[in-house]
Amino acid sequence: MKKYKLLFVLLIICLLFIEYKKNYFLENYLKNFKLAIHTVFLPKENILFIEEWIKYHINLGVDHFYLYNNDGSVGRNGSDKNKNKYNIPFNKVINIDYKKEIEKINKKYPQVTFIKWMPRDCKNKITYNYPLSIKHYIKNYKKKNDWTVFIDMDEFIVLKDTNSNDIKSYIMDKDKQNINKIVILQKKFEDRFCCLDKSVFSINKTLENVNTNGWGEKNICKNENLNNNFRNCSMHHILMNNENKIKEKLNKLRFNHYNMNLKQLQWTKNNISKSYKIGKDTSMEKYIEFSDDIESRKYNKKIFLDIKKNICNYD
């Protein structure tokens, strides 16, 4: 009888030890857990907004940013080095030495790694080539982080519509469920270039009554499962080995996409939904502390007013 009691006690001790080791591992994993952001960007188009974007996502829990500087690119989807795909002439409206500003950001934020991104096409012109940047990221930075958010600079990750910024715990919870890819949907907000006179956190005009499921989705991925077959991937579909994904609900985890203008709305009407309405969402105002000094923002006010009249006037 004593023998069985001893075995029972030893079993309890073993189970308690296993539970302790499990909790110890999880606590240390959380402490050492590294979350990154990857993006390919044009510096002149984004220079007025980069620092707000970085500060916000650091507060959210991002540890490092891998920013692929695509300066001089021929662009994509109708864009070029002077205007974006919405015909916004960012090269004319922005009055700033963007190269010096990039240098300042590089010195100010050790969390940021700028990568000179100049892949060439058959005519030796610099191209965007997002898929190839994924292959480069996997080869050079995959092992430095645990998970990576793949978004653009006009996109802000939003967790739950609350003051919570514990995105690492959220991701780790999915990780414990053996999920290795989180697909997130977008909520449309007014274009940044329609609001050069205000912080992105003050932009509150939104697109309502539109289902964004399957439209421009973005991904948060576990690095060890990233697949480097770059030819078949896109910014909306990052390839994974042994993919086990979840598509999160818009009101739980999403990204705010600041690109709503006349051209985007016309495309929405033709391809997504003819019935929509313009709404208001002030949930980002609580992050106004991360704003830049808007009063000293350098841009051509005359061209800005032309942009508002010809590209943004959809009320």
pLDDT of residue 300: 94
CA distances 131 to 36, 184, 242, Å, are 17, 19, 19
What is the maximal distance between C-alpha atoms in the chain? 92
Range of the domain at 67: 35-310
pLDDT tens sequence across 146-200: 999 999 999 999 997 544 567 998 999 999 999 999 999 999 999 999 999 999 9
DSSP 208-248: ES---TTSS-EEEEEGGGB---GGG-BTTB--BTT--EEE-
Has residue 15 been placed in a domain? Answer: no
Look-up of token digits 């964004």? 212
Q: What is the CATH number of the domain that holds 132?
A: 3.90.550
pTM (two decimals): 0.89
pLDDT, tens digit, 9 for 90 and up, residues 57-70:
999 999 999 999 99
Residues 190 and 312: beta-carbon distance below 8 Å: yes
On whether residue 24 sits in a domain, the answer given is: no
Does some domain include residue 18? no
Q: What's the total number of domains in the chain?
A: 1
Structural domain includes residue 193: yes
> Is the distance from CB of 48 to CB of 187 less than 8 angstroms?
no
Least confident range of 27-31, 97-101, 199-203, 226-230? 27-31
- At 14 the pLDDT is 64
Q: Are 204 and 280 in contact (CB under 8 A)?
A: yes
Does 238 reside within a domain? yes
Contacts of 297 (CB under 8 A, 6+ apart): 48, 196, 197
